[in-house]
Amino acid sequence: MSDVPPVAPRNGLPPRSRNNDVIERIKTYILDKQLRPGDLLPTENELIAAIGASRTSIREAIKSLSALDIVEVRHGHGSYVGRMSMNALVESLAFRGLLSTGTDGKVMTDLVNIRQMLEQGLSPLMIETLNDVELANLRELAVRMRRLAMEGQPYVEEDRAFHIRLMNAIGNDLVTQLTEAFWQVQARVAPTLKVEEADWLRTAEAHEAIVDAIGAKDVDSLREAFATHYDPIRRTIAALFADQTPGSAE
C-alpha cells in the first residue's frame, strides 16, 4: 500500500506532514470509536486497513503519540489508549525553565505567578469544600514541613502532597493534573535556584497559615497566605538574575 500523501493546504497554511496526518487519523479513530484510557488499540494490520496508511507511517505515528502519552505501547501485548497525562507538558516546561535559569528566569517567574493565581482564584472553593478531616491532614503535612525546615532539611514530597490534597478536595481533576504538572516543573528547576534555609522555614510557616485561613473560612487571609507562600521563591529568582545582570556588581 502506498503511503499517505500530504494533505492539501488549508486556508493558505502549509500542508501537514505525512506523519502528522497519520497521527490525526489515529486520534480521530480513537474518538470515533469512543475508546477510553486503557482500551486496546487495533493491531498494525487493522490500523492500516482502518485509516489507509502504510506500516511505516503507522509505526512512526504510534511513536509520536506514545511520547505524548496518548498511546501506551506495551511490548509483547500491543498498543493501548494512554493515560493522557501531563508528561509532555512537564518535560517541555521543565526544559524551558532550565534554559531560563541561564538567561533571565522569566519562565520560572511566570510559573510561580500562575501557581499563585490558580490557588488564589480557587480560594473560595477550597474554603467551601475542605472538611475537618482534610484540614487535619493538611495541618499534619504543614507541621512536618516546619519541623524538617527547622532541622535544615528540605520537604519536597510533603510540599507536593499538600498542594495535591488541596486540589483533590475541590474535585476538579484537570486542576489537580495542572497543579501536579506545575509542581513537578518547579521541583525540577528549584535545585538550580539555591533556595536559602531560612526561606524553607518561611514557606513551611506559610503552609500553616494556609490551613489556618481555610479553617477560619477567611478568603482574604487565605489569598494572602498563598502570596506569602510564593514570596520566597519569587525573591530567590529575582535576586539570582539581578546578580547575573551585567553591571549589577558595580
Residues 6+ apart with CB under 8 A from 78: 40, 41, 43
Q: For residue 200, what are the CA distances in angstroms to 121, 232, 236?
A: 24, 8, 11
Is residue 127 domain-shared with residue 153, that is, in the same domain? Answer: yes
Higher pLDDT, 237 or 139: 139
Is residue 73 domain-shared with residue 179, that is, in the same domain? Answer: no
**Residue 4, pLDDT score:** 44
Higher pLDDT, 93 or 215: 215
Is residue 185 domain-shared with residue 216, that is, in the same domain? Answer: yes
pLDDT reading at 152 higher than 80: yes
Is residue 134 domain-shared with residue 152, that is, in the same domain? Answer: yes
Name the range with the highest mean pLDDT among 66-75, 82-91, 202-211.
Answer: 202-211
Is residue 115 domain-shared with residue 230, that is, in the same domain? Answer: yes
- pLDDT band at residue 173 using 50, 70 and 90 as cut-offs: confident
Selection from 177, 164, 162 nearest residue 209 by Cα: 162
Is residue 116 domain-shared with residue 232, that is, in the same domain? Answer: yes
Selection from 246, 232, 230, 203 nearest residue 104 by Cα: 246
What's the total number of domains in the chain? Answer: 2
- CATH number of the domain within which 126 lies: 1.20.120.530
Domain for residue 10, yes or no? no
Domain for residue 3, yes or no? no
Question: Are 189 and 108 contacting, i.e. CB atoms less than 8 angstroms apart?
Answer: yes
pTM above 0.75, yes or no: no
Could you say which of 81, 108, 128 is where a domain stops?
A: 81
C-alpha cell at 139: 495541618
Domain for residue 6, yes or no? no
Selection from 115, 138, 125 nearest residue 211 by Cα: 138
- CATH number of the domain within which 70 lies: 1.10.10.10
Is residue 146 domain-shared with residue 25, that is, in the same domain? Answer: no
DSSP state, 78? E
Could you say which of 46, 81, 116 is where a domain stops?
A: 81
Residue 205 domain boundaries: 87-244
Q: What is the tens place of the pLDDT at every residue in 89-138?
A: 777 777 776 666 655 667 788 888 989 999 999 999 999 999 999 999 99
Is residue 31 domain-shared with residue 122, that is, in the same domain? Answer: no
Is residue 91 domain-shared with residue 70, that is, in the same domain? Answer: no
Domain for residue 250, yes or no? no
Backbone angles phi, psi at 40, to 5 degrees: -75, 135
pLDDT reading at 2 higher than 80: no
**Residue 17, pLDDT score:** 64
Written as one letter, the residue type at 188 is R
**H or E, element range at 174:** helix 173-189
Domain for residue 156, yes or no? yes
β-pairing, 78-81 vs 71-74, is antiparallel
Is residue 173 domain-shared with residue 222, that is, in the same domain? Answer: yes
